[in-house]
Structure 1
Amino acid sequence: MADLSVVEICAGAGGQSLGLELAGFHHALAVELDGNAAATLKENRPDWDVRIGDVADREVWKPEEFAGIDLLAGGVPCPPFSIAGKQLGAVDERDLFAWTVEHVSKIRPRALLLENVRGLSMPRFAAYRQHVKDRLKEEGYWSDWKLLEARDYGVPQLRPRFVLVAMRPEDAPWFYWPDENPCTGTVGTELYELMASRGWRGARKWADGANGIAPTIVGGSKKHGGADLGPTRAKAAWRALGVDAMGVADEPPNESHPVGFLPKLTTEMVARIQGWGASPEYQWTFTGRKTSRYRQIGNAFPPPVARAVGTSIVNAFKQKGTPKDLAEVEKEVLHDPLYVALKAAKSPLTEEELVRASGEKIDSSSFERRMAMLARDFVIDEDDRLDGRAYRLVDFKGFTGQKGHERHARFAEMRSRIS
């Protein structure tokens, strides 16, 4: 187990990278679209193979060349599933979740780890999740999803992340989600030392008042302006903690600032809230200008959370603990029974037939809403018959590597704005 390998796609500035390294993995490859984030990776790990570009571009890397690695991991783009966005899912040019799952068949990793925003856990994406789970099962992998909260793993922040882990049957019975290790600190206790570093006399009073957990750090994207700490609700939460969220400071306050001054955070402070720098093993250097550094930090998977999940994967490889009965576990996992019934149908089914086959109790208005959600990610044929409209599942709309997929044109058009 001393030489576990990982290929990490959409690696960002290294939050997941550092966490997985601390869990026992070494990077065979890291792929990242943003040049600034890639520069940060190279600054911290100059011996790594870091490649810059679209992960789906075979000029950047060829997945089959890394067949048999221990772990395929990534923090694939969040906007397709974000509650703050349009939740376009499979038809968003930034969606790489399905692409990654499809490439499990080429890479055949021992395990897969993907993380994303909480939005992917919502009813809107139930069929999408079921599709992912079904594809992994077809490739011979057991999989599970879980919503993990950063504060439950020692990070002083409200940061829910929806995580997918898939493993081969020989390891899967030993995989358990990591035990929680709740954060006992506050924004004040985490940042007092940094706030006081330039002689601000109000640092102690400020720290005593900043006695809560931070709201979710929002990294933003190239579509928006400079760095700030999020939308209106987040700004209000920061103000309640004694922080001016209307931007990011170049330096901490100094002796010239009054005791009651309302400070902004520096990028170093934001990194501390994300789990970097609290101890020597979590030290990390960020490169680039302030706004770029802030985005790199704000868009990251907190290293302690990544470490906890990575350690659970390593423990499964080592077959630690008591194995579970996967058949019993799987009985409880069904994300979208209506999608399952539609997929299993050998011929078009009417609303009544679909509802009966799904085993759910759904009225007509709910059925129509569910079918509308399905149609956002899947091609569904509808045929009006004498006994009612019949439905047939045709295809998945998402990009899985198809050469002629419309994703390529949209991605090329939006390339300069994607981060």
Structure 2
Amino acid sequence: MTEKQLRVIEICAGAGGQSLGLEKAGFDHELAIELDDNAVNTLKHNRPDWHVASGDVADPQVWDPANYTPDKRGGQPIDLFAGGVPCPPFSIAGRQLGANDERDLFAWAVEQVHTLRPRALMLENVRGLSMPRFAGYRQHVLDRLKKFGYAAEWKLLHASDYGVPQLRPRFVLIAMAPDDFEHFHWPEPTGKRSTVGETLYHLMKANGWARAEEWRDRANDIAPTIVGGSKKHGGADLGPTRAKRAWSEMWVDGHGLADHAPYTDDDIIVDRGPKLTVEMVKHLQGWDDDDFKWEFKGKKTSSYRQIGNAFPPPVAKVLGEAIAAALNKRTQRRERTFREPQDPIYLALRNHGDFMTATDLAAMLELELKELERRINLLGRDFQIEVSNGTEPAAYKLGAFKAFMGQDDHIRHDQFEKFRSRIS
């Protein structure tokens, strides 16, 4: 039987790293939505036949998920709802505000599953979302998806396992109807890891630099995570101090980008090594001239930011292939062995549904009262925690999730408009 063409709606599409990978995996874009004007121009330049919407993905004037339901599509659901929602709310390098960050769209994206009813969901974010700090947040997401009739799992993937010469850990959420999800298998690592030197050697020697071969041998390692940087801080370099040290060990100058590969040693600070060009960084993200052709619109800093903030196309491709295989039942059913690390305080309060004293909670979870209070405060960053008044010991009740999920009166609206120029 001939398999039908799979269709995807992609939110926060950026400059197209995930887009291109999903296309290579066999998905056609029904719609792509992106906020940044330069990234929108890049998408339209590379795929002029796509429907690309520009603006805040949560603004119904930009797109309305209700227009893409199975009923509006002749009874056929979208096959995949995908996106790389903003990372700063969960970034280890940031304040990890989570649900309190105006850029947080993860919970909102999950809520759209209830409207769209896609066959599959794929959302990716930074490693920080996998940390204990966000255990309650993650469990709430799984609770919502279960309520909507989906089975879901999280997994931390490393780009270097899939042919990308870069560490770049990404935390990925996949959800499907339980019958389809039984056929989903996370992609296995593809084999040999590429290094910076072997990946960029042909570009570094392009202008005849006599020491290109020496540089290749010294750059015989995987790159640190490429960071595109934010509009707030501006500039284009290869990351914070720790990353620059790692680059220095590979004889790469991480203080900015070059306009071209070196001709002679006069073009570099020899002790630091050569700077990378935008084209070189593009290759370190998995774009290359053979399998993943893509051109970026905008000036150097904007292009670098688009590249650095992208999801590597090869990783998106293997994930897309795994999703397509499950949806088309091309894989064997599997035994579910994954177990989500859970926040026991969140679960205890959720299941109890009313006030629980600190003494009872601590005894149930075998925690010292001081540690219980610390973790209650942590959970309170993402949830309203009601505290009983006038009782001893204190009693707690799990209240509302603070994250933006589409509420008309949520603080996100004012905060988003106030800080719109810095959001990327």
**Are the counterparts in 2 of residues 80 and 87 from structure 1 also a CA contact under 8 Å?**
yes
1:59 Cα deviation from its structure 2 partner: 0.6
Tell me which residue corresponds to 1:318: 328
1:343 to 343, 347, 350: 350
Q: Distance in 1 between matches of 2:176 and 2:256?
A: 42
- Cα gap change, 1:365/1:65 in structure 2, threshold over 3 Å: closer, same or farther? same
Give, in whole Å, the separation in 1 of the partners of 2:236 and 2:269. Answer: 24
Name the SS of the counterpart of 2:88 in structure 1.
coil
Partner residue of 2:73?
none
Aligned to 2:256: 247
Write out the 4+ residue segments of structure 1 that deviate beyond 3 Å after TM superposition: 255-261, 384-387
Structure 1 pair 264–146 and aligned structure 2 pair: CA distance change class (3 A): same
What's the TM-score once normalised by structure 2's chain length?
0.94
The answer to which of 279-288 and 242-251 deviates more is 279-288
**Alpha-carbon contact 1:202-1:258 (below 8 Å) kept:** no
Give the whole-Å Cα distance in 1 for the aligned partners of 2:320 and 2:166: 20
Cα drift, residue 259 of structure 1: 9.5
Secondary structure, in 3 states, of the residue corresponding to 1:56?
coil
Measure the CA separation in 2 of the matches of 1:88 and 1:101. Answer: 18
Q: 1:260 to 1:400 in 2, by over 3 A?
A: closer
* Counterpart pick for 1:412 among 410, 413, 417: 417
CA contact (8 A) 1:82 1:117 kept: yes
Counterpart CA distance in 2 for 1:23 and 1:400 is 30
**Correspondence for 2:161:** 152
SS of 1:370's equivalent in the other structure is: helix
- Report if aligned partners of 2:85, 2:105 keep a CA contact under 8 Å in 1: yes
User: 1:394 aligned to 399, 407, 410, which one?
Assistant: 399
Cα distance in 2 for residues equivalent to 1:348 and 1:256 = 70
Root-mean-square deviation (CA, aligned residues, Å) is 1.5
Which among 217, 228, 233 is matched to residue 208 of structure 1?
217
In structure 1, the residue matched to 2:299 is: 289
Distance 1:125 1:239 in 2: 33
Distance in 2 (alpha carbons) for counterparts of 1:295 and 1:194: 20
Residues 174 and 316 in structure 1, CA contact (< 8 A), matched pair in contact too: yes
Note the C-alpha offset of 1:260.
Answer: 8.4
Aligned residues: 413
Per-residue deviation, 1:335: 1.9
Counterpart-to-counterpart distance in 2, 1:259 and 1:381 = 59
Which residue type is aligned with residue 337 of structure 1? P
Corresponding residue of 1:29: 31
Tell me how far 1:324 sits from its aligned partner.
2.4
Deviations 1:223-269 (A, max 9, x none): 01210000001001101111111001111111464798421000010
Q: Residue in 2 aligned with 1:174?
A: 183
Provide the residue aligned with 1:122 in structure 2: 131
* Structure 1 residue 334: Cα displacement: 4.2
Residues 1:338 and 1:245: Cα distance change in structure 2 (over 3 Å):
same
Contact 2:262 2:268 in 1 (8 A): no
| Cα distance between partner residues in 2 of 1:53 and 1:270 | 27
Moved more, 263-272 or 309-318: 309-318
Q: State the Cα distance separating 1:65 from its structure 2 match.
A: 1.2
Whether the aligned pair in 2 keeps the contact of 1:2 and 1:24 (CA below 8 Å) is no
Q: CA deviation at 1:185?
A: 2.3
| Deviation of the 1:325 alpha carbon | 4.1
Mapped to 1, the partners of 2:100 and 2:269 lie a distance apart of 49
Residue 264 of structure 1 pairs with residue 271 of structure 2? no
On the 8 A contact 2:88/2:96 being kept in 1, the answer is yes
Pair 1:135 & 2:144 matched: yes
Answer yes or no: is the 8 Å Cα contact 1:338–1:355 preserved in 2.
Answer: no
C-alpha contact 1:4 1:25 (8 A) present in aligned 2: yes
**Structure 1 residue 384 displacement after superposition:** 4.2
Give distance in 1, aligned partners of 2:186 and 2:320.
Answer: 10
Give the match's secondary structure for 2:8.
strand
Q: Once the two structures are aligned, what percentage of the paired residues are identical? A: 58
Task: Please give the secondary structure, in 1, of the residue aligned with 2:276.
Answer: coil
The answer to whether the 8 A contact 1:63-1:103 is kept is yes
